[in-house]
């Protein structure tokens, strides 16, 4: 059953849960639902990629299952693993029972079937999303951080919505989860992975959209201050900085100004709180110089 009726309803619904989506974002989410395809969301850090998946989960009333990717992530942490300690205890208990005469002999085929049964299986996020009975949004966050070998584990899940477990067989999804994969472009993803996904690039928002985001996320801010914040941040992103301010840092700055009781701010006044926006001293110094020059 489709979760969304129209593309405008997606944009409206996301707006209702605090995510300001343009037509492009809403369109990809709509198609992902109708076509039952994952969405690969790429772009700079802090542009709302992870929040999009969270907001879709909130909008649809779905359970959010998150796989946070990192270098060294393997099958045992992404898909499943067996509870080896519990299996060993079961084997030892069988041996003790046999030694005490409680059993005529160990049936190893029966024992193997027992220790590789459901009660010894430890599910990880990918398998958990496939096995879920309730509506699920699966977030595979920062997929570009894993190696190509681990990336290959995703292919069966993303193309067939199933997981193969040699000891148990193939586990297929009873309902297709919505899947979002995020990437900060730290490395090029494989063609096989990209081919299975709809693609969405989230760049820094336009001035108008960032102003809307600030108004939505910082309800106590005035329209004038929200506009000034968006304009100053946009000007800072045009500089050659080590790290441009993200949308989340824009919101932190807007909240800071509201807490400080600031009702209006200009380039000169922004210098005193640049440490909230920028995370490198060289960037703060460069931005301060540029803002001073603009104010002169």
Predicted pLDDT of residue 102: 53
Residues 44-62 as b/e (b if ≥16 CB within 10 A, e otherwise) read bbbbbbbbbbbbbbbbbeb
The crossing angle, in degrees rounded to 10, of helices 281-295 and 223-237 is 110
Pairs from 152-158 (Cβ < 8 Å, separation ≥ 24) = 152/190, 152/192, 153/75, 153/78, 153/79, 153/126, 154/78, 154/126, 154/181, 154/193, 155/192, 155/193, 155/196, 157/126, 157/129, 157/130, 158/38, 158/193, 158/196, 158/197
pLDDT tens digits for range 186-207 = 889 999 999 999 999 999 999 9
Whether pLDDT at 230 is above 90:
yes
Most confident region among 132-136, 166-170, 262-266 by mean pLDDT? 132-136
Residues 9-44: tens digit of each pLDDT: 999 999 999 999 999 999 999 999 999 999 999 999
DSSP assigned state of 16: H
**Rounded mean pLDDT of 210-220?**
93
Give me Rg for the CA atoms of the chain. Answer: 25
Residue pointed to by tokens 């005469």 = 101
pLDDT at 266: 82
Q: What angle do CA 228, 231, 236 make, to 5 degrees?
A: 125
- pLDDT tens digits, residue range 91-127? 887 777 767 665 555 566 677 777 887 888 888 999 9
Residue 101's pLDDT is what?
60
Looking at 35-44, 63-72, 267-276, which range is the least confident one? 267-276
Residues in contact with 167: Cβ distance below 8 Å, sequence separation at least 6, in sequence order: 82, 116
What is the C-alpha separation between 28 and 24, in angstroms, rounded?
6
Which residue in 186, 188, 264 sits closest to 222, CA to CA? Answer: 264
| pLDDT band, residue 242 (cuts 50/70/90) | very high
Q: Which helix (H) or strand (E) holds 26?
A: helix 23-35
Spatial separation of the C-alpha atoms in residues 99 and 92, rounded to whole Å: 10
């Amino acid at each position: 059953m489709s979760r969304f009726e129209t593309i405008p309803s997606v944009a409206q619904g996301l707006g209702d849960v605090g995510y300001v989506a343009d037509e492009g974002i809403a369109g990809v989410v709509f198609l992902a639902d109708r076509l039952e395809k994952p969405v690969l969301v790429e772009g700079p850090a802090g542009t709302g990629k992870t929040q999009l998946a969270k907001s879709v989960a909130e909008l649809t009333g779905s359970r959010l299952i998150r796989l946070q990717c990192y270098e060294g992530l393997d099958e045992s942490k992404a898909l499943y693993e067996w509870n080896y300690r519990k299996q060993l205890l079961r084997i030892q208990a069988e041996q003790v029972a046999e030694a005490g005469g409680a059993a005529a002999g160990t049936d190893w085929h029966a024992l193997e079937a027992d220790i590789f049964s459901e009660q010894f299986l430890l599910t990880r996020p990918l398998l958990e999303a496939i096995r879920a009975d309730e509506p699920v949004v699966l977030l595979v966050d920062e997929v570009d951080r894993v190696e190509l070998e681990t990336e290959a584990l995703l292919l069966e899940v993303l193309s067939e919505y199933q997981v193969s477990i040699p000891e148990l067989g193939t586990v297929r999804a009873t309902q297709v989860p919505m899947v979002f994969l995020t990437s900060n472009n730290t490395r090029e993803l494989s063609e096989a992975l990209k081919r299975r996904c709809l693609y969405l690039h989230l760049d820094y928002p336009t001035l108008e959209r960032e102003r809307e985001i600030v108004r939505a996320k910082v309800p106590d801010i005035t329209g004038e201050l929200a506009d000034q914040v968006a304009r100053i941040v946009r000007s800072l992103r045009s500089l050659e900085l080590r790290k441009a301010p993200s949308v989340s840092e824009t919101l932190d700055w807007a909240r800071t100004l509201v807490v400080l009781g600031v009702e209006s701010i200009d380039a000169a006044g922004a210098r005193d709180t640049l440490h909230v926006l920028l995370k490198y001293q060289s960037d703060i110094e460069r931005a301060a110089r540029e803002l001073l020059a603009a104010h002169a």
